[in-house]
Amino acid sequence: MRNILLRIIPEEQSKGGKSQKGVQSMNSVATTLKRGPIVASLLIGAFVALLAQTLLNVAMPVMMIDLGISANTIQWLSTGYLLVNGVLIPVSAFLIERFTTRKLFITAMILFSLGTVLCAIASSFEVVLIGRLVQAAGAGILMPLMSVIFLTIFPIEERGKAMGMMGLAMIFAPAVGPTLSGWVVEHYDWRVLFYIVLPISLFALIFGAVSMRNVTKNSLPKLDTLGVILSTLGFGGLLYGFSDAGHDGWDSTRVITSMVVGGISLVLFFVREWTVKKPILEFRVFKYNMYSLTTVINMIITMCMYSGMILLPIYLQSIRGFSPLDAGLLLLPGAILMGIMSPITGIIFDKVGARWLAVVGLAITVVTTYEFSRLTIDSTYTHMIFMYTLRMFGMSMLMMPIQTAGMNQLPQRLNAHGSAMSQTLRNVAGALGTALLVTIMTNTAADRIKELIVQGKIAETDKTAILDATQQGTIYGINHAFVIATWMTVAALALAFFIRKVKPHSETIATAQPQTGK
């Protein structure tokens, strides 16, 4: 409990006006604090948030047909979700300082539940998208809140194990999601997915309302409104540009305008955050070299992982004709293995650090991602399930150990800012990676089909030939997207060799306790 006390009392306390009574009060809270119910509340909330996100990956091809939209449009249910996370997560450091952890948790779960209801009753794509964005608002508060609470209540020497436990919930949802989604979509309407999520979400809300405790100190920080606007325009502009390029082309006026507005806004946002007294995103965390390196590596990994989760179900269902259940079952063993490995890699991290875990994991990910760039119309189900499972085994060694290695270098006062920055960039990277690689797939497939027509290999009036060409073009596009993802992973592997075990920052009793006197 002594370790918990040192993490609950902030490093930067005012030197005046604080009495020993305040210290005794905090000591009383720390002594009575039970980590179990708090951890359980957070894990249930994280599980249901991630379950809702992964449920749609297998369902998207069916939703495309039911709602009458294209792959480039349907992927907004994923990229829009990630974008709202990316916009809201920067504000999380402000929210964590401003409001109690219990209030934030309850608010996050209420928003998530409301979004789930909207998706369940939706009759059009627009309503589903709005529901997803409301869900994302809740998840955008919940995920960084969970990271900060874990870093607060667990001592440094137990953080690997604690992050592994958090990773278990974060991986168990993807293990259940695709298979459950496949079974539901095959036998029922896709809206049933949200009716399954809703009671779990409500249970998480009620359990958290009873079990959650306040473990962080609150103040009255001022929100940088201009920073929020600039970050929204910046991230939103770039993401819209990447996504719309798959429909209008890279030379479209709309795409170019979105990219230019996004780029300029991000530059202004960066300048603003360096100069304002209370930034929403504290870029000074990048003064810590290992934090910077691990954040870049995790961004690359996230881009590759999210894109694969979107591209494979499209290939399996739209090209190969597998049922949604078969598509979900293909993803199941890898997700289960990743879930089993998550706490194990956390324990290994506590003993040996992140470097060799990352090198081995990324080497496996490079090989398996390359294998997915060689898909054909005859690729066997057995081969794909083996390669995907092996890919997830490699990824199980990456995200949480790498993130924890970077966070351990930060001083305690920067935990909330470091978590917000890491979560923001990972979500934005996931959204941009998905938009970019789906756009690459769409454009490459379209170019390939035109090429076959121009070469005279198929006649424009031959519907059977055009269907075959569409399949060939789509496979070609998916393969090309995976080639790009392979090179991204190679870059991450090269960077992983530079990860080193840094001396964890821990506050001493002298600096952790408030001073009295003047």
Instruction: State the pLDDT at residue 164.
Output: 67
Total domain count, the chain: 1
**Cα angle: 12, vertex 17, 21; to 5 degrees:** 90
Instruction: State the pLDDT at residue 491.
Output: 93
Q: For residue 246, what are the CA distances in angstroms to 162, 415, 438?
A: 41, 38, 7
Domain contains 245? no
Instruction: State the pLDDT at residue 346.
Output: 76
DSSP string covering 303-349:
HHHHHHHHHHHHIIIIIS---HHHHHHHHHHHHHHHHHHHHHHHHHH
Tens-binned pLDDT, residue by residue, of the chain (518 aa): 333 333 333 333 333 444 344 333 333 333 446 777 888 888 888 888 878 777 777 787 788 888 888 776 777 787 777 677 767 766 777 787 788 888 888 999 999 999 999 998 888 888 989 999 999 888 888 877 887 787 777 776 676 667 666 766 666 676 677 777 778 888 888 888 889 889 989 998 998 888 877 776 767 777 778 888 888 888 778 777 776 765 666 778 888 888 899 889 989 988 888 888 777 778 888 888 888 999 999 889 888 877 677 788 778 877 788 877 787 778 778 877 877 787 788 778 877 778 888 899 999 999 999 998 888 888 888 888 898 889 888 888 887 788 878 888 888 777 777 877 887 788 778 777 877 787 788 888 877 777 777 766 565 556 666 667 777 788 888 888 899 989 999 999 999 998 887 765 554 433 333 333 33
Contact 467, 459 (CB under 8 A): no
Domain contains 274? no
Domain contains 271? no
**What does the alpha-carbon distance between residue 496 and residue 399 come to, in Å, rounded to a whole number?**
12
**Cα angle: 35, vertex 47, 6; to 5 degrees:** 25
Domain contains 14? no
Domain contains 387? yes
Domain contains 92? yes
Instruction: State the pLDDT at residue 167.
Output: 67
Residue 70, Ramachandran bin (φ over 0: left; ψ between -120 and 50: alpha; else beta): beta
Is residue 278 within a helix (H) or strand (E), and if so which, with residue range? Answer: none
Intra-chain end-to-end CA distance of the chain, in Å: 30
pTM of the model: 0.69
Domain contains 67? yes
Domain contains 13? no
Residues 6+ apart with CB under 8 A from 152: 4, 7, 8, 215, 216, 415
**Structural tokens at position 156:** 């440094």
CATH number at residue 113: 1.20.1250.20
Q: For residue 369, what are the CA distances in angstroms to 354, 366, 480, 482, 486?
A: 21, 5, 11, 6, 6
Contact 142, 46 (CB under 8 A): yes
Which domain range does residue 71 map to? Answer: 34-223+280-506
**What does the alpha-carbon distance between residue 430 and residue 403 come to, in Å, rounded to a whole number?**
15
In this structure, the dihedral spanned by the alpha carbons of residues 360, 365, 368 and 374, taken in order and rounded to 10 degrees, is -140
